[in-house]
Structure 1
Amino acid sequence: MGDLVDAMGEVGRVMSDRVAVIGMSIRAAGVRSTTDFWRLLSTGRSGRREIDNAELVRRRIPGRRYKDPTYVPVAYSMEDYLGFDLKAFGFGRSEAELTDPQHRAMLEACYRAVESSGCFIGSLPDRVGVFVGSRTSGHGAQIEHYSAAADSNVDLAGLAIGNDPDYMSSRVSYTYGLTGPSMTVLTACSSSSVAVHLACQAILAGECDSALAGGVALDVRDAGYTFIEGGIYSRRGRCEPYMASADGTVDGNGVAVLFLRRLDAALAAGNPILGVIAGTAVNNDGRERAGFTAPGVAGQTELIEEALDVAELHSSSIGLLEGHGAGTSIGDALEIDAATQAFRSSGAGVGSGTGECRLHSVKANIGNLTAAAGAAGIIGCLLALRHGQIPPNAPLVEGAPPIDLRGTPFKLADKTAAWQRSDQSRYAAVSSFGLGGTNAHVIIGDAEPELRLASRKGRSWQLLPLSADDPERLTEAVDTVRAAVDGASAEARQDIGHTWRTGRPELTTRAAALIPVDDTSTSVRWPQPVQFHTAPEGTPTLVFMLPGEEAGASDAALALYEAEPVFRSTVDDGLAAMEQVLPPQTFAAVRDAFLHGRYPTVTHVSQPVLHLLGVGQHAFLSDLGVGPDLLVGHGVGELTAAQLSGVLSFEDAARAVCWRSQTMSDIAERAEAAVRFTRRMRDVRLNSPTTPTVSCVTGTWLTSEEACDPGYWGAQLREHAPFDEALRSVVSEHPEAVYLQLNGGTSLLRTAQLREDAALALVSDGEASDSRRSLLQAVGALWERGVRIDWQAYAERDHALRIDMAPRTFERTPCLHPSLLEHCPGIDPAELSGKQVSR
C-alpha cells in the first residue's frame, strides 16, 4: 500500500510539473480554423495567391509600381481580417477603427483558443497569464499621418492604446478579466515560441495556473512586394523551405494562439489534452555569426541540445521537426547543419541516409507569419499528433526539387506518413529563430490517455442551455448541436451537455434542450425559433407557488428521491423530524411515498408528503443558486412557505405540518381543529419572514406580527380570503415576474391566470411519470427567462469531459479608419461593405 501511495504521489508530482496544451486557434491564408489548417497541411497545399492586374488597380496600387519587373504580386492573405464583432468584444465603432487589426484579431483568437478547450474565457476559475507577440505595424502611424494631412483630429491616447504592442497583452487581460502575468513578446520570428516558453515558465513557477500564448502578423499594406537582390524575400514569390529552388521567404498574414494549463489542473477539469510541453529552451546567438541578421550555427545547436535535456529525451525520440524554414539557401543550410549536430550529440544515428525524422515547415503552406510563426508550427505538430499523420512538404507536392539531406537524421516527403501511437511516446519539435539571434525550441509530446482524472457523472437526461447573440445565430447553434447529438454515444452526449453548461457564455437569445443519454431512439424536442426567449438585462423576480393539495405529484416523490441526492438528503432530514411526532403507521406511509412510490391521498399522509416534496425541490433549486423573491402558499403550502421564508425552522415546519394534517384528520369541525393547532404552534419559535409571503388569511402580504402569532396559524387552518383575487393581485404588482409552482401540477398557475411564458411547473400535468425530465425542463425554462443557474453546482451531480464543439458565431463588421481608405493596398475595397457572420 505504501508503494502505491508513493507511486501515485510521483504521478501527481509529474503532472503538476508539466504543462498541457488544452486549446488552440489559428487563422491564416486559406485557414479559418484548425480544421482548415489540417486540410491544408495534410494535402500539401498552400494559401498563396497571385494578385492579377485588375485587382491591383482596384487596390489602388500605382501602375508604375506593379509594372516594375521587380514587383512580386503575391500574398498570403488572411480572409476578412478587417471584420470584427463590435458588440461581442465591447467596442464602439470609432474605438475599433483606431485599433490595429492585429489587436482585434488577437482578442478573437484568444477567445477561440479557450473556447476550443470547452471553457468560456469570461469565467475561467484560474489565474490566467497572457504572453503574445505581434508584427511591427504602421497602422497607427498611418492614421496619425493621414489624419494630420487632412487636418482631422485624432484621439492620440486611444491611438496609442489601440496600436502600440505594449498594450496588446494588457488589452486581452482587461477584456476578459485575466489576472495572471501579462506581457507582449517582441523577438521577431521567434516571438510566439518565446511566448510559449515564458508561459510555461510562469505556469511551472506558480505565477499562474494557465496561460494564453501566441502571436499575430497582419499588414494592411500587404499586396505584394518589391524584390531586392540579395534580400530575404523570394524573387519568384514562393516560400519553399528546404528546396533546392528556394530563393527567399514570403510574409504571410495570420494569428495563432495556444491555451496552456498545468497538466494536473487540466486533467481534473476534464479539458481536452492536445499534447504536453515536454521541454522548451530560449537563447541568443550572441556574436558567433557573420552579422546581426545572419543565423548562428553554434547558438541553434546549443538551443536544441538544451531543450532535449530539459525534456529528458534523446533526439531519436523526435519523429517530426517543424523547422524554422527561412526559405533561403544559406538560412536553411545553416539550420539543418545545426539541427544535425544537435541530434547527433543527443542520440541520433550518424550514418548516411538515416532519415529517421521528418523535416517540415508550415511556412510553405501559409507564408512566414513572423511573430505568429512558432505558434502556427506548434499547432501543426499538435494536429499531426491528433491525426496520426505527418503532413507532406508542400513544395514537393507542387514539384519543387528538395535539397540533399544525405548524412543527416532528416528526410522530406511528398506524401503523408502514418504516425500512430505505439509503446513509445511520439514527440515533435519546433524551431523558431528570430532576426537578431533570439532562438526558441519547443518539444511537444503525446498526451497520456490513461491519465484522465475527471470522471463522468451524469443524469439520465442532459440539459443543454443553448444561447447566441440573436435568433439567426441561435438557430445555427441548435442545428449544429443537433447534428452532434444524433448518433452520439452516451458518453459523448454527457460531454456535449457538460461543455454547454459550464464552457459557454450565457448570451441574450436562449433556448434549452433536453436530450436522453442512453436511449438514442427517443425523439428530442429541439427548440424552434418561435420558442426562443430573450433574457432580460437584469434577473427577473421569481415567485415560488406552493399548492396545498395533491396535484400530479404521485410519481414525483419516488422519482426525485431516486434521482437527486440533494432532494433525497433533505427529505431524509424531514422524515427524521416527522418520525418524532407521527404515529408509526402514518410515518411508514409518508416514508413509502418516497421509498416505494406509494402515495395515499388521505390528508394525514398527503400533506406531509407534499411538504417534503416542496422543501426537497426547494433544496435542489437552492443548491443551483435559485431562490424565491416572493412566496405564495395555499393551505398546507403556506406552512411550507413559512419555512422557506424563515418563519419556521426546518424541524419545526416538519412537525407543524404533521400536527396540522393530524388535526384536520382527527377533527371534522374546522373551528375546533384551529384551537388544537393554535395550542401546538405555541410550542415552536416563530420569526418574521425574510421573504415576502402572501397570507391566505388576509389575501395580502404576511406581516411580522401575523407570522409570529400562533393564533394566526390556527386561523389559517379555517379562515381564507378569496385566494384567486390574492393571486391576481400579486400578478398585477409583478407583471414581469416568473412564477414557478413547486410540489406538483399547475393548479395555482391556472388560478393566477398567468401568461403562458411566465408560468412554470416543476412537475407538469400529464408528465408525472417522468418527473426527472420535468424537473430539468423547469431548470432550463428558468434559465431561458434570465434566472441565474449555478452550473458549477449542477456539475457536482452531472459532469463529464470538456470538448471542442459548436463555436460561437461572430458578426464581422468591416472596421477601417476613414483616413486609411485611400492608403491601404492590402485591403480590397470590396471587403469594406456589408456584414458577415463567421465561426
Structure 2
Amino acid sequence: MNETVEPIAIVGLSLRVPGAASAEEFWRNLVVGAESLTRFTRAELLARGVPAEQLDDPAYVPVAAVLDGVDRFDAELFGLSPRDAELTDPQQRLFLEHAHAALTDAGCDPARYDGEIGVYAGGNADLYQWLNVRRNPSALADAGELRVSLGNKPDYLASTVAFRLGLRGPAMTVQTACSSSLVAVHLAAEALRSGECDTALAGGVCVELPHGVGYVADEGYTSADGHCRPFDADADGTVYGSGVGVVVLKRLSDALADGDDIRALVIGNAVNNDGSAKASFTAPSVTGQVEVVTQALAVAGVAPRSVGYVEAHGTGTVLGDSIELAALSTAYGRRTAERGWCGVGSTKANIGHLSAAGGVIGLIKTVLSMRHRLIPPTVNHDRPHPDIDIEASPFYVVSTLTKWEPEDQRPLRAGVSSLGLGGTNAHLVLQEAPPRVPPEPDHGGGELLQVSAATPDALAAACARLAERLTGGPDVGLRDVAYTLREGRPAYRHRAAVVAVDRARAAAALTDPKRRAAGDAATPPRVGLLLPGQGAQHPGMGAHLAATEPVFAAAVDECAAILGWDAGEMIFDAGPGADERLAGPAVAQPALFAVEYALAALWRHWGVTPAAMIGHSVGELVAATVAGVFDLPDALRLAAARGRLVQAAPEGRMLAVQRGADEIAPLLPDGVAVAISNGPHTCVVGGAPEPVAAAEVLLRERGIGCTPLRS
C-alpha cells in the first residue's frame, strides 16, 4: 500500500434502494439473490395514471425499480414547514434524511463535533418542479420562484444538507451523470487528505419521475423484458431505478484516534474523462477507462493481483459492458498472465441502474461484502455475452454466493467503478478495515443507555431499533453503545433511558414501556437527592463505582486526603475487619460523608442538578455542603469530630417501631425513650442496649412490629 497517501476510512453509511430501507435489508437481499424490481398489471398502471395508448405500445415494459417512502418525509425534524416539504424535490428530501442517518450511523453529532464536515453530493435532474410544482399555478404563485428554486435545483443539494445539519465544511453538488456519486466520494477523499475538512459526507440520489411506472424500451439502451443482465448473453439493456446512498469518510489516523467503527478503507481513487477519442459523446472509451483504473491502482500502491473483486458499472448494455470489461482486463491483467482469478459483478442486476446514486450503492455493496467476507451473486447471469471474452480475462462473473477466497488472504481488496454518460470515469480501490480491537468486557455494574427523538412515536421506534441492534447486530460492548448514544447522538426533545448490565437485558427494557424511563425535555423532571445517615454504611461501599467512574473516585480521594485516610483501606475495603471498623461512628460518619458527597458529584457530572436535597444525620451535612453552606474541608472536619463525639458517648441502641410516638411512649420501660417521630404511625425509640432489648421483647409480645437499627 502507498505509504505517502493516507487511506480514507468509511465510518458510517446509510441507504434506501428498491426492496431495502437499510443496509442490513440490502445485504440480506443481495445474499439471497433477490431481484427487487416490480412488475405491474395493466390495471395498476392505469390507476397510476399511465395513458392506455402508452400501455398499448408493443415496446412498453410494465416494470420499475420502485423506491418505497418517496412521498414521506419528517419535515419537523429538519426545521421545514409542511408547505416547504411539499415544494421540495424528493431527491433533496431523501438525501437530507440519509445524510443525517449516515452521521448518526457514524456516531457523529455535528453540534458537538469539533472539526469541519464537508458534503459532496450528486443527484438527477429536477423533474419534480416541472412535473408537479409548476403544473399548479396557484401553488407556484403562492410560493414564489425563489422558494421553488431553492427546494428543487440540483445546485442546492449539498448546501441544503450543510444548512439543515449545521455543517461548516465545503458543500459541493457534483454533476457527472451516472458517475456523480462515486466522483463525489473521490472529491471528498481528496478534500480530507488536503485538510479542507475533517469528516465528509459523500453520495448521491435519484428519484425517477413519474415514479413507479414502466417505460418504453429503447433497443440496445433499456431492457425489452424488464431484466437487467450485466455481462450476460441475453443482455439487451438496463432498467433505471431510484435510490439514495451516503457514506461518512474520515482520514484513517483520525478514525483510529476517535475509536470509530471502520467499515473499509479507500486506499486509491482516481477520476478522468474519455475526451474525444471515442465514437460519440455517449459512447464509452476503453482507453479512458484503462487509464482511470491504472491511476487508482497506482495511488493505492498495490498490485492488481491483490484485488479479489471488482464491482463494475455493469449496466447490462452490450456495448457498455464489453468495453468496460475490456478496460478492466487490460488494467488488472497488466502484470499477470493468470486468468479467472478476480470476481466481477454489478448490483444493477438486483435493483436497476440508480443513475447518480449507482456508484455509491456499488461502493456500499462492496464494503458490506468485505465485512462479511462474502461476494453476493450477480443475478440474471447464465453465460457470458459472446462480445465479452471473459475466458481470456483475469475475471469471472460472480453468479453464486461466493466465499471470498483464499480464506487467509489479508487484507481483502476490491475495486469499484462508475462511468458517466459523457465520459467522466471514476475508480476506487478499497481495502478491508484494519482488525477491530475486541470490545472491553462489560464491567457488570450497569450502563445508562440514552435515546432521544423529535416525537414520541419516533422515540418508540428508535428504542425498538436499538433493541434489535443489541440482540441481532455485531458484538459490541454495552459500554461502547452507551458512550455512542451519549456522545454521538443529537439530543432531541423526547427522551428515554434504561440501565442494564448486558445487551439482552438492555433490549428487553428498551421494548418495555414500563421498564424504561421516559420524559419530555421541554418539561424536565425535578430531581431531589435523599442522603441517609449512619446505618447505611457497609463494607466495600462505593468500591465498584470508584473502579468504573473516575469522577466518583476523584471525589472520594479528595475527601480521603482531607481526612488523612487511604480510601481503599478505610472506605472501599470489604475484607476481614471491615465490618467492625465501619461499625464505629468515628469511621462510619466521615466515610458515609465521602461516599455521599462523591455520589452527588457524579450526578452533577452526568448533568443532573438537584432541585432539592434532604438529608438525615450525616446526610444533612452532605446536603448542606453540596448546597454551598459549608466548604468541603470544614464539613469533613465537622463530620469527623461528630463521629468521634458519638463514639465517645455511652453505647446505645435504636428500634424502628410501627406505631406513632404518642401510642408507644407509655409502653416503654425505664431507660428507653422516643428518639424520633417519623409520622403518625412510625417512630424510633432509643436507649442503652439492655433496656432497648427489653423494649423489643415487650413490643413484640403486644404484636407491635419493630426492627433494630444499625447504628
TM-score with structure 2 setting the length: 0.82
The residue that corresponds to 1:164 in the other structure is: 153
CA distance, structure 2, for counterparts of residue 269 and residue 590 of structure 1: 33
The answer to which of 569-578 and 145-154 deviates more is: 145-154
2:640 pairs with 1:658: yes
Could you report, residue by residue, the CA deviation over 1:678-727 in whole angstroms, capped at 9, with x for unpaired residues? xxxxxxxxxxxxxxxxxxxxxxxxxxxxxxxxxxxxxxxxxxxx999xxx
CA distance, structure 1, for counterparts of residue 310 and residue 54 of structure 2: 39
The residue that corresponds to 2:570 in the other structure is: 592
Decide which of 437, 441, 446 is 2:432's aligned counterpart.
446
The residue that corresponds to 2:589 in the other structure is: 607
Give 1:594's aligned amino acid.
F
2:423 pairs with 1:437: yes
Look up the SS of the partner of 1:283 in the other structure: strand
CA distance, structure 1, for counterparts of residue 372 and residue 607 of structure 2: 42
CA contact (8 A) 2:230 2:381 kept: no
Give 2:391's aligned amino acid.
R
Could you report, residue by residue, the CA deviation over 1:457-479 in whole angstroms, capped at 9, with x for unpaired residues? 74532332344556666556555
Look up the SS of the partner of 1:271 in the other structure: coil
The answer to which of 203-212 and 420-429 deviates more is: 420-429
CA distance, structure 1, for counterparts of residue 506 and residue 153 of structure 2: 56
The residue that corresponds to 2:41 in the other structure is: 52
The residue that corresponds to 1:348 in the other structure is: 336
The residue that corresponds to 1:227 in the other structure is: 217
CA distance, structure 2, for counterparts of residue 522 and residue 97 of structure 1: 39
The residue that corresponds to 2:519 in the other structure is: 534
Residue segments in structure 2 that go unaligned for 5+ positions in a row: 651-676, 680-709
The answer to which of 180-189 and 108-117 deviates more is: 108-117
CA-CA distance at 1:311 after TM superposition: 0.5
Could you report, residue by residue, the CA deviation over 1:302-326 in whole angstroms, capped at 9, with x for unpaired residues? 1111001000112112211211123
Look up the SS of the partner of 2:179 in the other structure: helix
The residue that corresponds to 1:362 in the other structure is: 347
The answer to which of 301-310 and 233-242 deviates more is: 233-242
CA contact (8 A) 1:467 1:509 kept: yes
Give 2:31's aligned amino acid.
S
2:128 pairs with 1:139: yes
2:608 pairs with 1:626: yes
CA-CA distance at 1:455 after TM superposition: 6.2
CA-CA distance at 1:505 after TM superposition: 4.4
Instruction: Map 1:693-712 to 2 at 5 A.
Output: none
CA contact (8 A) 2:533 2:617 kept: yes
2:390 pairs with 1:405: yes
The residue that corresponds to 1:760 in the other structure is: none
The residue that corresponds to 2:206 in the other structure is: 217
Give 2:450's aligned amino acid.
P
2:241 pairs with 1:249: no
The residue that corresponds to 2:684 in the other structure is: none
The residue that corresponds to 1:262 in the other structure is: 251
CA distance, structure 1, for counterparts of residue 205 and residue 636 of structure 2: 63
Could you report, residue by residue, the CA deviation over 1:24-70 in whole angstroms, capped at 9, with x for unpaired residues? 22211222222222233233332222222101110111112221223
Give 1:616's aligned amino acid.
A
Residue segments in structure 1 that go unaligned for 5+ positions in a row: 1-10, 580-586, 669-721, 725-767, 769-839
| Change over 3 Å in CA distance of 1:318–1:169 after alignment to 2 | same
CA contact (8 A) 1:397 1:415 kept: no
Give 1:370's aligned amino acid.
S
CA contact (8 A) 1:590 1:609 kept: no
The residue that corresponds to 1:334 in the other structure is: 323
Could you report, residue by residue, the CA deviation over 1:538-573 in whole angstroms, capped at 9, with x for unpaired residues? 555544444454446666345544554432332232
Decide which of 372, 382, 403 is 1:418's aligned counterpart.
403
| Change over 3 Å in CA distance of 1:272–1:562 after alignment to 2 | closer
CA distance, structure 2, for counterparts of residue 95 and residue 268 of structure 1: 40
Give 1:386's aligned amino acid.
R
Instruction: Map 1:662-811 to 2 at 5 A.
Output: 662=644
| Change over 3 Å in CA distance of 1:553–1:535 after alignment to 2 | farther
CA contact (8 A) 1:245 1:400 kept: yes
CA-CA distance at 1:253 after TM superposition: 0.7
The residue that corresponds to 1:179 in the other structure is: 168
CA-CA distance at 1:95 after TM superposition: 1.3
Look up the SS of the partner of 1:40 in the other structure: helix
Could you report, residue by residue, the CA deviation over 1:268-289 in whole angstroms, capped at 9, with x for unpaired residues? 3332221110100011111111
Give 1:294's aligned amino acid.
A
CA distance, structure 2, for counterparts of residue 224 and residue 310 of structure 1: 42
CA distance, structure 2, for counterparts of residue 543 and residue 16 of structure 1: 56
| Change over 3 Å in CA distance of 1:471–1:556 after alignment to 2 | farther
Look up the SS of the partner of 2:78 in the other structure: coil
The residue that corresponds to 1:764 in the other structure is: none
The residue that corresponds to 2:31 in the other structure is: 42
| Change over 3 Å in CA distance of 1:175–1:229 after alignment to 2 | same
Look up the SS of the partner of 1:216 in the other structure: strand
CA distance, structure 2, for counterparts of residue 364 and residue 39 of structure 1: 15
Give 1:611's aligned amino acid.
F
CA contact (8 A) 1:514 1:524 kept: no
The answer to which of 111-120 and 612-621 deviates more is: 111-120
Give 1:416's aligned amino acid.
L
Say how many residue pairs are matched. 651
Give 2:625's aligned amino acid.
Q
| Change over 3 Å in CA distance of 1:344–1:435 after alignment to 2 | same
CA distance, structure 1, for counterparts of residue 625 and residue 183 of structure 2: 60
Identity %: 36
CA distance, structure 2, for counterparts of residue 334 and residue 220 of structure 1: 30
CA distance, structure 1, for counterparts of residue 404 and residue 34 of structure 2: 20
| Change over 3 Å in CA distance of 1:390–1:465 after alignment to 2 | same
Could you report, residue by residue, the CA deviation over 1:636-665 in whole angstroms, capped at 9, with x for unpaired residues? 445434432444433233223333444566
CA distance, structure 1, for counterparts of residue 154 and residue 590 of structure 2: 67
Decide which of 2, 20, 23 is 2:9's aligned counterpart.
20
CA-CA distance at 1:609 after TM superposition: 2.2
CA-CA distance at 1:296 after TM superposition: 1.8
